[in-house]
Structure 1
Amino acid sequence: MTPPAFARSVRAEWIKLRSLRSTWYTLTCLLVVGLGISFLAMNTAGKHYAEQPAAWDPTGRSLTSYIVAQLIIGVLGILVVTSEFATGLMRTSLVATPRRHRLLAAKVVVAAAVAVVAGQVLMFAAFFAGQAVAGAQGVPNAALGDPGVLSAVAGGGLYLAAIALLAVGLGAIVRATAGALAILVGIVFLVPALAPLFPAWMQGLGLYWPTLGAAAVFKTVPDPHFPHPWLNLGGLCLGVAAVLAAAFVTFDRRDV
Structure 2
Amino acid sequence: MIAEPGTLRRFAQASRMEWIKLRSLRSTWWTLAATVAGATGIAVAVGAKTKDASGDLTNNVLAGVAPGLLLIGVLGVLTMTGEYSSGMIRATLAAVPGRSLLLAAKAAVFGGVTLAVGEATAFLAFTAGRAALPGRIPPPALGQPGVLRAVLLSGAGIALVGLFGLGLGAVIRHSAAALAVYAGVVFVGGELLFALAPSVVRYVPLAIVGDSLAVSRAEAGTLSPWTGLAVLFLYAAVTLVAGGRLFTRRDA
Does TM-score exceed 0.5, indicating one fold? yes
2:203 paired residue number: 208
Q: Tell me which of 242, 245, 249 is aligned to 2:241.
A: 245
Quote the Cα distance in structure 1 between the aligned partners of 2:225 and 2:12. Answer: 34
Distance in 1 separating the partners of 2:141 and 2:209: 23
C-alpha distance in 2 between matches for 1:207 and 1:154: 20
8 Å contact 1:123–1:154 — kept in the other structure?
yes
Report the equivalent of 2:34: 29
Q: In the alignment, is residue 235 of structure 1 matched against residue 231 of structure 2?
A: yes
- Give 4+ residue runs of structure 1 displaced > 4 Å after superposition: none
Measured in 1, the distance between the counterparts of 2:197 and 2:43 equals 35
Distance 1:40 1:67 in 2: 14
Counterpart amino acid of residue 124 in structure 2: A
TM-score in terms of structure 2 length: 0.92
Q: What residue ranges of structure 2 are gaps of 5+ in the alignment? A: none
Distance in 2 (CA, whole Å) between partners of 1:82 and 1:41 is: 35
CA contact (8 A) 1:13 1:110 kept: yes
Aligned to 1:114: 113
Q: Which residue of 1 aligns with 2:140?
A: 142
Q: Would the alpha carbon gap of residues 163 and 227 (structure 1) be closer, same or farther in structure 2, given more than 3 Å must change? A: closer
1:231, 1:137 → 2: CA distance? 35
Identity of aligned residues (%): 37
Q: For 2:188 and 2:197, locate their aligned partners in 1 and report how far apart those are by CA, in whole Å.
A: 16
SS at match of 1:212: helix
Matches within 5 A, 1:1-256: 4-46=9-51, 49=52, 53-54=53-54, 56-134=55-133, 136-198=134-196, 203=199, 205-215=200-210, 216-226=212-222, 228-256=224-252
Name the SS for the 1:186 alignment partner: helix
Contact 1:169 / 1:243 at 8 angstroms: preserved in 2? yes
**1:134-193 deviation line (CA, Å, top 9, x unaligned):** 1x4421211111110000000001111110000000111121222222111111111111
Encode CA deviations 1:89-132: one digit per residue, 9 max, x unaligned: 10000011111111111100011000100000000000000010
Structure 1 unaligned segments of length 5 or more: list them: none
Q: Does the aligned pair in 2 maintain the 1:209–1:236 contact within 8 Å?
A: no
What is the aligned length? 246
Query: In the aligned structure 2, how far is the partner of 1:214 from the partner of 1:38?
Result: 15
- TM-superposed CA distance for 1:227, in Å, is 5.3
Give, as a single letter, the amino acid of the residue that structure 2 aligns with 1:15.
I
- Tell me whether 24-33 or 112-121 shows the greater mean CA deviation: 24-33
Distance 2:197 2:49 in 1: 36
Contact 2:161–2:232 (CA<8 Å) still a contact in 1?
Answer: no
